[in-house]
Amino acid sequence: MPYNPANELFNQLMKPYNLNLDHSGIKGERIAARLFEQSKIGFTKDGGVKRPGFSEEEKQAKQLVKTWMREAGLKVREDGAGNVIGRLSGVSDDLPAVASGSHVDSVPNGGHFDGPVGVLSALEVAESWKETNYQPKKPYEIIVFTDEEGSRFNSGLTGSMAMTGSGGLSAKSQLNDYNGDSFEKVLHNYGSSLEEFKKAKRDMKELEMFVEVHIEQGKKLEQDELPVGIVSGIAGPAWLEITFTGEAGHAGNTPMIGRKDPLTAAGAFLQKVEEFPGQVSETAVATIGKLNVSPNGINVIPQQVTLNVDIRDIHEETRDRLLKLITQEAEQIAEKRGIGIDMKQTTKIQPIPIKEELQNKLAASISKHDLQPSYIPSGAGHDAMMLGREIPVAMLFVRSKDGISHNPKEWSSLSDIVTTVHVLKEFIEGVMDE
């Protein structure tokens, strides 16, 4: 068998693991083994993972989780959006279910913890109940949402949007992926259709609440020397796709005066964007992480430049103010330089606060482990924010080494993950007993 660095992940997780955390039916080795198995699907030469939404790699990762769900005693189904739902019957099975989960897709060359940790944490709760012969009073669901990251269409949270019927299908159906394939074609290749995608909308009264575990993607828990924290609110992302169109020409024969260069316009725009977040909020951010130049020749003045802007804040008012500043700036730059501009808003999600009552319950679970509760706003978008528009949601963060995420160096220790699973289990059992 050829050498594969992914094979080291299991040992790296287990070597420093605190075995005293193995109790109440929860086993760190099982979580480590499953993180290792997931890491092999879409493994990259840089040691990361590439599992875009609706890809064969994402499908394989979900199939693996389906197998584990069935082994844990859950009934498993997959809806027309690609969401995987595993259900464990409760004593009173007609009550709304308590749900937990996350996603298994990734950004290009991402890490092994963003998404899978939340899925495997939710699954470990069910495994612990099987180990201890515990049947919850209410039904329990584990949900693996499809295409959370949005790397396929530059428009994420696809599965949770479909499940909640939060709109956006008409906009998504107009999108093309990185291969130029339409949303409808990608669904067809995956084994679904637009019609089946629409049927993924469910009656949200079937769910009492949703709680998601996720790596922090920040440094607060590391600075506070804490393994787990409570999310106080989730920022709402707005994504813009902006295309500047100018006039292509020969780099040597076209005078500088009179050029209509969309790349220099994009450069001026990039420089201005980083000035705006601080003008509206301490928590607002704006990022341009993707840029395409056409025809992209060394001796050719570009004809067209397309870039994507990620705009976020935990407050909707200031997020929208920042969005307005950025769109106005793009229009002004294009007008000043006499070039064309086209703007499409591909995502706009409402920020979601977490109910204080649920934060307090999570704090009580954390305190049982002689840990200090820490409250952290999430600047990243999560599937929980889509469900939070319909039902109560809660979130736990796991400490991230150096705050790194969306990167092969992403890391959370197994001890921190298992500690978080214990907190999740106690919280869910408390909700079940109400």
Residue 103 annotated as binding site:
yes
Based on the fold, state whether residues 191 and 67 are members of the same structural domain: yes
Q: Which residues of 361-400 are buried (b: 16+ CB within 10 A; e: fewer)?
A: bbbebbeeeebebbebbbbbbbbbbbbbebbbbbbbbbbb
Residue 114 annotated as binding site:
yes
Report how many domains make up the chain. Answer: 2
Q: Determine the pLDDT at residue 155.
A: 83
Cα 389 from Cα 384, distance rounded (Å):
9
Based on the fold, state whether residues 392 and 300 are members of the same structural domain: no
For the residues 419-427, what does the mean pLDDT come to? 98
Q: Determine the pLDDT at residue 6.
A: 56
**pTM of the predicted model as reported, rounded to 2 decimal places:** 0.81
Based on the fold, state whether residues 112 and 157 are members of the same structural domain: yes
Report residue 346's pLDDT band, with 50, 70 and 90 as the boundaries: confident
CATH code, domain carrying 56 = 3.40.630.10
pLDDT above 60: residue 84: yes
- Given 326, 348, 370, which residue is the final one in a domain? 348
φ/ψ (deg, to 5) at 118: -70, -40
Cα 186 from Cα 254, distance rounded (Å):
42
Q: For all residues of the chain together, what is the average pLDDT?
A: 94
Based on the fold, state whether residues 113 and 160 are members of the same structural domain: yes
Based on the fold, state whether residues 216 and 279 are members of the same structural domain: no
Q: Determine the pLDDT at residue 5.
A: 56
Report residue 4's pLDDT band, with 50, 70 and 90 as the boundaries: low
Domain range enclosing 48: 5-235+351-432
Based on the fold, state whether residues 230 and 248 are members of the same structural domain: no
Based on the fold, state whether residues 328 and 279 are members of the same structural domain: yes
- Given 308, 329, 348, which residue is the final one in a domain? 348
Report residue 347's pLDDT band, with 50, 70 and 90 as the boundaries: confident
Q: Residues 21-72: pLDDT tens digits?
A: 999 999 999 999 999 999 999 999 999 999 999 999 999 999 999 999 999 9
Based on the fold, state whether residues 63 and 74 are members of the same structural domain: yes
Based on the fold, state whether residues 150 and 198 are members of the same structural domain: yes
For the residues 152-159, what does the mean pLDDT come to? 90
pLDDT above 80: residue 7: no
pLDDT above 50: residue 244: yes
Residue 149 annotated as binding site:
yes
Which residues lie closer than 8 Å to 332 by C-beta, 6 or more apart? none
CATH code, domain carrying 290 = 3.30.70.360
- Given 348, 370, 404, which residue is the final one in a domain? 348
Residue 76 C-beta-side C-alpha neighbours within 13 Å:
18
